[in-house]
Amino acid sequence: MKKIGILGGVGWASTLDYYRGICAGAWSHQREAGTAPKSGPIPVPRITIESVNQAETRSLRGMQDDEQSWADFDAVFHEALLTLEVAGCDFAVIASNTPHARLHSITRGVAMPVLSIYEATASAVLLAGAKKALVIGTSVTLQSPNYSQVMTEHSIRTLGPLPEEEIAEAQAMIDEDFHGGASENARERLLQFCHRNAEPGTAVILACTELPLAFPDQIDDPIFEAEGFLFINTSAAHITAALERAMG
């Protein structure tokens, strides 16, 4: 098995899900394939976690269309990836959607492959049979063209751009109801957002790795249906891609 690097901490709750999902997924895969040992622990990929400080990275966010304003933000994630590379990781995943908006910069000079959450998500949308998608995430994710560009490459249309007030609401919802776990109001607030913005037949992309916490029974499912919506769990899709890479 290949060694996985997890760049986590943005936030810590989703980082836990990445670690648990990779280990549990390795167990399930080997049991289903009949390759698990008859006695003793089931092997899992070696994993190194480099956890950054979300309070710091949030304060270092730059301005849309001002590349230089992101220099300090990019540097934190770039250094974290280099730490994972030095630790001998064969590849890495960033356990958060938001930094992927800066993937072009933070991976510059990093020889180790970094698996894109965008590509993993697009594969899940295609597998679900959807042709259009609503992206829900932080203000950085929603203001970035990255999701739309990758989805277009896979012949998937993304709804939007969303109005500024809806982008602000998505960020507030994540800040108030999802950091450190889902609050009692998290699920209802998320569903209200979907009702306002999702067209019929739309795949709703949970493009913040904390958002799937609103659906604990589907936390490991890349694709699931709930409350009349088709959801794409970007965390689970990313974890699946990491497992496939690690286990061949």
- pTM for this model (two decimals): 0.91
Structure confidence at residue 142 (pLDDT): 95
Residue pLDDT, tens place only, 173-196: 999 999 878 999 999 999 999 999
Residue pLDDT, tens place only, 199-242: 999 999 999 988 999 999 999 999 999 999 999 999 999 999 99
All domains in the chain, ordered by first residue:
4-116+239-247 (3.40.50.1860), 117-238 (3.40.50.1860)
Mean pLDDT of the chain: 94
Report residue 29's pLDDT band, with 50, 70 and 90 as the boundaries.
confident
Residue pLDDT, tens place only, 46-99: 999 999 999 999 899 999 889 999 999 999 999 999 999 999 999 999 999 999
Q: Are 169 and 193 in contact (CB under 8 A)?
A: yes
- Please state, in angstroms and rounded to a whole number, the distance separating the CA atoms of residues 225 and 215: 10
Report residue 39's pLDDT band, with 50, 70 and 90 as the boundaries.
confident
Half-sphere exposure of 97 (CA within 13 A, CB side): 31
